[in-house]
């Protein structure tokens, strides 16, 4: 991977393909590798940029206050891209929203895959998940905390492990562990989400949700789709929370023509 160093540490990134630029922003339990199966198709017509958020993958945890919006702006400036298509999964979806709200002239299309909603009133199931993760980390059991996250975000509430593609849990467990190790540092220094009104987003927007995902995120996806003016909701029948892992071919086939629709 390539490295963009700054006063807070560094961001690691990788670029593939040639053509109009598109940036893929990973989920909060993953890193840039979650897009591995999607990139080859996109890279046939696009310059595909992936990076690890601070404290994820190969990017260093922050040593002071930082903004994920500023980080993405710095990366685009470094690479010389003024306007891009932006695709974000889960927490990466919220990073994409914040960037589009803060820098509307730099985004021509937006794809949000199961993004969270700031201040959402979580269900009892989500509260129980959070409490279980917190208890495991408090006891120093990183293995248990990793399993809890794999159960919630990869397997999901609507299927057994026998229905999850072989090898996905092994591929994701390392990135999950890294995110857990660094999450307190990241939370301490993160400047939080943007405060803009999503109804102000004026670019074509695709909102994707897995039909096997947590009910909260299905509700949130419909909320984004209804409140963003030019948004389309797409459901992935075989996917839980991490669509790029569960349905990469379907996702790539959808993103290709969507990203070609530049406003």
**Residue 255: DSSP 8-state:** H
Could you tell me what percentage of the chain is helix, strand and coil, using 3-state DSSP and rounding each to the nearest 5? Answer: 45, 20, 35
Element (H, E) at 93: helix 91-102
Q: Is the sign of the CA dihedral 79, 82, 88, 94 positive or negative?
A: positive
The CA distance from 139 to 86, in Å, is 38
Residue 182 lies in a domain: no
Mean pLDDT of 135-150: 98
Give the Cα-Cα-Cα angle 100, 103, 227 (nearest 5 degrees): 30
230: domain CATH number is: 3.40.50.1820
Both structure tokens of 211: 């039909």
pLDDT tens digit string along 167-203? 999 999 999 999 999 999 999 999 877 778 999 999 9
pLDDT score, position 193:
77
Q: Which residues pair with 50 in a beta bridge?
A: 14, 24
Domains of the chain: total: 1
Q: What is the DSSP string of 145-159?
A: HHHHHIIIIII-TTS
Q: Residue 263: is its pLDDT beyond 50?
A: no
Residue 154 lies in a domain: no
Cα within 13 Å of Cα(68), Cβ side: 29
Mean pLDDT of 87-103: 97
Rounding to the nearest 10 degrees, give the CA dihedral for residues 90, 93, 94, 98: 170
Q: Left, alpha or beta for 167 (phi > 0: left; psi -120 to 50: alpha)?
A: left
Residue 125 lies in a domain: no
Residue 147 lies in a domain: no
CA distances from 75 to 15, 49, 71 (A): 12, 10, 6
Residue 233 lies in a domain: yes
Residue 58 lies in a domain: yes
Residue in 90, 35, 38 with CA at minimum distance from that of residue 254: 38
The CA distance from 263 to 253, in Å, is 20
Both structure tokens of 119: 């201040």
Per-residue confidence at 94, pLDDT binned at 50, 70, 90?
Answer: very high
> Locate tokens 């939370």: which residue?
187
pTM of the model: 0.97
Residue in 185, 190, 168 with CA at minimum distance from that of residue 241: 168
Question: Which residue range is the domain that position 211 belongs to?
Answer: 2-120+188-260
pLDDT score, position 262:
64
- Which residues are within 8 A (CB) of 151 and not within 5 positions of it... i.e. 6 or more apart? none
CA distances from 208 to 55, 68, 76 (A): 26, 22, 24
């Amino acid at each position: 991977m390539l490295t963009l160093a700054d006063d807070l540490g560094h961001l690691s990134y990788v670029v593939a393909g040639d053509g109009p630029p598109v940036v893929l922003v990973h989920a909060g339990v993953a890193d840039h590798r979650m897009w591995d199966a999607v990139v080859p198709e996109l890279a046939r017509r696009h310059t595909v940029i992936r990076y690890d958020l601070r404290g994820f993958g190969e990017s260093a945890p922050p040593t002071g206050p930082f903004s994920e919006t500023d980080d993405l702006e710095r990366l685009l400036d470094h690479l010389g891209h003024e306007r891009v298509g932006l695709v974000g999964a889960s927490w990466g979806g919220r990073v994409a929203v914040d960037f589009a709200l803060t820098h509307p002239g730099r985004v021509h299309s937006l794809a949000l895959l199961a993004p969270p909603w700031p201040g959402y009133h979580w269900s009892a199931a989500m509260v129980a998940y959070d409490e279980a993760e917190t208890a495991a980390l408090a006891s120093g059991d990183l293995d248990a905390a990793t399993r809890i996250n794999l159960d919630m975000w990869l397997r999901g509430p609507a299927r057994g492990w026998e229905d999850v593609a072989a090898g996905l849990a092994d591929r994701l467990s390392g990135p999950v562990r890294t995110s857990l190790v660094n999450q307190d540092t990241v939370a301490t220094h993160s400047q939080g989400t943007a405060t803009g009104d999503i109804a102000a987003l004026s670019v074509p927007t695709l909102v994707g949700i897995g039909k096997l995902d947590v009910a909260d995120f299905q509700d949130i996806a419909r909320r984004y789709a209804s409140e963003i003016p030019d948004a389309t909701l797409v459901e992935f029948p075989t996917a839980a929370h991490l669509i790029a892992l569960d349905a990469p071919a379907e996702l790539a086939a959808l993103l290709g023509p969507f990203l070609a629709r530049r406003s």
